[in-house]
């Protein structure tokens, strides 16, 4: 073989060797990165795991007192919550000592008081798990399991702005009716062999009650925020009109965000960024019904937007309602508050 041919062959072999080394190094780097990603994922999952253990270690406080102490202006519960399982266990098991109609609103709910004096909101099951709600993205009854799922997504994203929610089965005949107020008791009826109630709300009708399976009703239980943190209700700047043929300004004015930025409390502080965080959260859960929102009172725009009333979510898994993201794509800003 001539020298020139040997040099060319050697050069080709050298190139192949270099590419092989680079490829192997890249693979090793990628594998190492993948392993680190997997470790980070497992650490996150371990941190999110909740053991529904009724024991409260090293404390003489009740679970309700502990949960009340968690609340601060920018979060409902802290990132490190070793007592979370005990509080959630209490929400699912503590005896119901009083039941009343729910607070004002459009959807059926009951206000319960648990042993120890803790208020909770009970939303009854209205649909089977696999039921798909057709029509407008805000159509249908509240979905109790949507409240549960939304709470856990709030934990995963690291927002910590949603009150605690658990699922619970209650016996309407033995747990609710004996402690119900006359106002709530007057809405009970029997449909076939099932105990039902229709409560009191804007859309509550005797013809559309929520019915148990016999006497056993599944529902969600949401922990009431402490009375020392009174809430203030606000109209959402990107709320819908809910009127056929009538659009809200944000639906036709692409510069709408500029007007919002000039009004209080969106002209300073974190409130506008909270609105955008909430839009992303609502898009993920499919909630197109956040026409109002709550913050803490007298906060001058400094408190968080509290993620209450998430039950108009997860209605149709095939529907991605882009308009929910209007605050994001019209304002083009976003605070990176989620877990990495």
Q: Is 225 annotated as a binding residue?
A: yes
Q: Is 253 annotated as a binding residue?
A: no
Are 187 and 198 within 8 A, CB to CB?
Answer: yes
Strands of 188-191's sheet in order across: 188-191, 194-197, 210-211
Q: Which of 91, 64, 56, 62 is nearest to 228 (CA)?
A: 64
> Do β-strands 110-114 and 96-101 pair in parallel, antiparallel, or remain unpaired?
antiparallel
Q: Is 154 annotated as a binding residue?
A: no
Catalytic residues: 289
Strands of 96-101's sheet in order across: 96-101, 110-114, 118-124, 216-223, 165-171
Q: What are phi and psi of 293, to 5 degrees?
A: -150, 165
**C-alpha dihedral, 238 to 239 to 242 to 243, nearest 10°:** -50
Q: Is 57 annotated as a binding residue?
A: no
Query: Distance between alpha carbon 285 and the CA centroid of its chain, in Å?
Result: 8
Q: Is 223 annotated as a binding residue?
A: yes
Between helix 63-70 and helix 84-93 the angle, nearest 10°, is 130
Cα distance between residue 56 and residue 202, in whole Å: 40
Are 236 and 291 within 8 A, CB to CB?
Answer: yes
Q: Is 227 annotated as a binding residue?
A: no
Name 171's bridge partners: 216
Q: How far is CA 30 from CA 24, 190, 304, in A?
A: 10, 62, 39
H/E run at residue 211: strand 210-211
H/E run at residue 191: strand 188-191
Q: Is 294 annotated as a binding residue?
A: yes
Q: How far is CA 83 from CA 49, 71, 218, 234, in A?
A: 12, 14, 25, 32
As annotated, the binding site for Mn(2+) includes: 142, 309
As annotated, the binding site for ATP includes: 107, 123, 222-225, 294, 309
As annotated, the binding site includes: 107, 123, 142, 222-225, 294, 309
């Amino acid at each position: 073989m001539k020298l020139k041919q040997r040099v060319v062959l050697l050069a080709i072999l050298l190139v192949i060797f270099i590419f092989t080394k680079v490829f192997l190094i890249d693979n090793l780097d990628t594998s190492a990165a993948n392993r680190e990603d997997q470790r980070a994922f497992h650490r996150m999952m371990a941190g999110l795991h909740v053991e529904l253990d009724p024991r409260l270690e090293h404390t003489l406080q009740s679970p309700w007192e502990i949960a009340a102490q968690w609340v601060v202006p920018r979060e409902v519960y802290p990132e490190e919550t070793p007592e979370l399982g005990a509080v959630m266990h209490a929400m699912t098991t503590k005896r119901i000592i009083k039941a009343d109609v729910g607070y004002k609103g459009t959807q059926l709910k009951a206000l319960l008081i648990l042993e120890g004096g803790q208020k909770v909101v009970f939303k009854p099951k209205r649909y089977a798990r696999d039921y798909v709600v057709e029509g407008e993205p805000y159509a249908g009854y509240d979905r109790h399991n949507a409240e549960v799922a939304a709470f856990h997504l709030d934990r995963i994203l690291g927002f910590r702005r949603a009150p605690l929610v658990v699922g619970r089965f209650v016996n309407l005949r033995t747990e609710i009716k004996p402690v119900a107020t006359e106002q709530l008791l007057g809405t009970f009826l029997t449909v076939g062999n099932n105990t039902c109630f229709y409560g009191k709300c804007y859309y509550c009708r005797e013809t559309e009650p929520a019915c148990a399976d016999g006497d056993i009703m599944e529902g969600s239980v949401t922990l009431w925020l402490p009375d020392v943190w009174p809430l203030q209700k606000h109209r959402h700047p990107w709320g819908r009109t809910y009127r056929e043929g009538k659009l809200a300004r944000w639906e036709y004015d692409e510069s709408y965000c500029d007007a919002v930025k000039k009004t209080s409390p969106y002209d300073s502080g974190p409130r506008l960024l909270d609105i955008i965080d909430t839009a992303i959260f609502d898009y993920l859960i499919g909630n197109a019904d956040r026409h109002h929102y709550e913050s803490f009172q007298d906060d001058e725009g400094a408190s968080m937007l509290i993620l209450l009333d998430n039950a108009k979510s997860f209605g149709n898994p095939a529907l991605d309602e882009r308009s929910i993201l209007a605050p994001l794509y019209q304002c083009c800003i976003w605070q990176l508050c989620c877990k990495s």
